[in-house]
């Protein structure tokens, strides 16, 4: 059983409805950063420095470990799905902010 198979199975079983996607999004422990999803808007807001300052001040905690180690397969898979959904969302934001920094450094924005 591979992680890809587990996540695909989880998505097929639980994420068919939009409501589950909304719940997965709400469960991300980085939700309080309130950062725009669009590159142009993030660039206009000069959001990078405030986000970095917030990250240094924040004490981000993740409460999902008990669910990952649970013997209840549905609970465990659900937490994996949420965790990787949040990781995917956050990595897209990091990628966007790196591109903004790159264009500022090169003065091509």
Amino acid 57: pLDDT: 73
* Cα 7 to Cα 50: distance, rounded to the nearest angstrom: 34
Q: Is 95 annotated as a binding residue?
A: yes
85 close to 104: Cβ distance less than 8 angstroms = no
Q: What is the predicted pLDDT for the residue at 22? A: 47
| Cα(20)–Cα(98) distance, integer angstroms | 30
Domain ranges of the chain: 3-105
4: tokens are 């890809």
Res 36: pLDDT: 65
Q: Give the residue carrying structure tokens 């994420």.
A: 15
Over residues 17-46, the pLDDT tens digits come to 544 444 555 677 776 666 666 667 766 667
0.85 cut: is pTM over it?
A: no
pLDDT of 26: 65
Residue ranges of the chain with per-residue pLDDT less than 50: 18-22
Question: Quick check: 15 and 24 in contact, CB under 8 A?
Answer: yes
Cβ neighbours of 96 (radius 10 Å):
19
């Amino acid at each position: 059983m591979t992680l890809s198979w587990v996540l695909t199975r989880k998505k097929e079983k639980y994420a068919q409805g939009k409501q589950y996607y909304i719940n997965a999004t709400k469960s991300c422990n980085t939700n309080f950063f309130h950062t725009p999803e669009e590159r142009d808007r993030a660039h206009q807001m000069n959001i990078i420095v405030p986000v970095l300052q917030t990250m240094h001040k924040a004490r981000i905690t993740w409460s999902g470990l008990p669910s990952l180690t649970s013997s209840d397969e549905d609970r465990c898979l659900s937490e994996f799905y949420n965790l990787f959904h949040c990781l995917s969302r956050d990595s897209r934001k990091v990628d966007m902010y790196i591109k903004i920094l790159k264009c500022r450094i090169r003065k091509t924005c």
